Homo-oligomer: A and B are copies of this chain.
Amino acid sequence: MFDCQPSPLGDRRVTLEHLRAFVLLAEGKGFQQAGLQLYRSQSAVTQSLKRLEDILGCKLLERRQGHIMGLTADGERFLPAANEILTRTSEAVSAMKQPEIAGRLLIGVPDDFKVVDLHDAISRCAELNRNLRLEVVSALSSQLLYQIDNSGLDLVILKCLEDFVPSDKRWRSHLLRREPLHWVAAQRHVFESMSEVPLVIFPDGCCYRSAALSALDRNGKHGYGAYVSASYENIRAAVSAGLGIGVLPASALANEHIILGKQEGFPELPMVELVMIQATDKYATKQLADFLAHSATMNPRNVNEYSDHNVSAESSSAGIFG
């Protein structure tokens, strides 16, 4: 038959700590930094990764010169799996630490955002809590915010400009992600050379849109909607196709997008946030909010990754997500 039993005990020797070290290193933190987040010494991290590479039988990190130069092809291949295993574990464990979430909850998510991670987290939450019926409503962030009161939504996730303050103090809000907003395009453009800026943007009401327009305003330029869509996928595709200049946060960039920054003369854009709002005070709402807040797909590690600044929440919970 097949002769593939490389070593007895096989994959048994791999531990979650190995994966945590690898993921942290893959994010570009050095061995020292990774050790800090894992509450281990640099030496321990080095040995940990070495061990993982031994077990897997391949190198994961490209470390030609002194320190890490990125992932090897194998590392690139392994990273998504490692991330997923850690996410699943983290979610499963924290799900067990609280009573099962039950009931029926209505969640509002922005459809003008890259929400696949969000959807994954939501569906895994449903998997771990079979007595929980989740209903997801997708709408523009601006509409979601407007509808919180009268639409019966329990939990609302929406995008907004930095330092969002909920208009109703009863709502408990939680920052899921903070990241810089970028001008993006398929090719290079020079700001000064453009008389009018063809924008690929979301419809009126979108905070990215208004941030972009007012930035242009301040710089005496006029932007027009070369392509307007309420769907993130459409926007992404339109930018890729070169239909104009998009305005997207770091996490929503596609591979083929390039960032237009100071070199090209483009003005700075504000930071944007993904915020979660508890609109009802049901216990299940709080539980779900906890789950999503914990979910590694939107944890402080990622916040940090996308961000230029440090986020206060980061250091305190690094141990949990690290």
Q: Does the CB pair A88–B90 fall under 8 Å?
A: no
CB of A167 within 8 Å of the partner chain = no
Interface size class of A (residues with CB under 8 A): 35 or more
Q: Cβ of A226: which chain B residues have Cβ within 8 Å of it?
A: none
CB of A1 within 8 Å of the partner chain = yes
Nearest chain B residue, comparing its CB with the CB of A98 = B4
Q: A93-B11, A96-B74, A320-B5 are in contact. Are A128 and B81 (CB under 8 A)?
A: yes
Q: How far does the Cβ of A62 sit from chain B's closest Cβ, in whole Å?
A: 16
Q: Does the CB pair A93–B55 fall under 8 Å?
A: yes
CB of A9 within 8 Å of the partner chain = yes
How many monomers of this chain does the complex have?
2
Q: Cβ of A55: which chain B residues have Cβ within 8 Å of it?
A: 93
CB of A286 within 8 Å of the partner chain = yes
Q: A6-B97, A96-B78, A294-B4 are in contact. Are A14 and B286 (CB under 8 A)?
A: no
Q: How far does the Cβ of A238 sit from chain B's closest Cβ, in whole Å?
A: 26
20 A–B contacts, CB within 8 A, in A order: A1-B174, A1-B293, A2-B174, A2-B293, A4-B98, A6-B97, A8-B320, A10-B90, A10-B94, A10-B319, A11-B94, A12-B322, A14-B93, A55-B93, A56-B96, A73-B100, A77-B130, A78-B92, A85-B85, A85-B92
Q: How far does the Cβ of A100 sit from chain B's closest Cβ, in whole Å?
A: 6
CB of A190 within 8 Å of the partner chain = no
CB of A263 within 8 Å of the partner chain = no
Contact mask for chain A residues 224-239; partner B; CB cutoff 8 A; 1 contact, 0 none: 0000000000000000
CB of A204 within 8 Å of the partner chain = no
User: CA–CA, A259 to B221, complex, Å?
Assistant: 75
Contact mask for chain A residues 33-64; partner B; CB cutoff 8 A; 1 contact, 0 none: 00000010000000000000001111000000
Q: How far does the Cβ of A82 sit from chain B's closest Cβ, in whole Å?
A: 7
CB of A281 within 8 Å of the partner chain = no
CB of A241 within 8 Å of the partner chain = no
Which residues of chain A (66-103) have a CB below 8 Å from chain B?
73-74, 77-78, 80-82, 84-85, 88-98, 100
User: CA–CA, A98 to B11, complex, Å?
Assistant: 13
Which residues of chain A (178-236) have a CB below 8 Å from chain B?
none
Nearest chain B residue, comparing its CB with the CB of A60 = B96
Q: Cβ of A58: which chain B residues have Cβ within 8 Å of it?
A: 96-97
Q: How far does the Cβ of A107 sit from chain B's closest Cβ, in whole Å?
A: 16
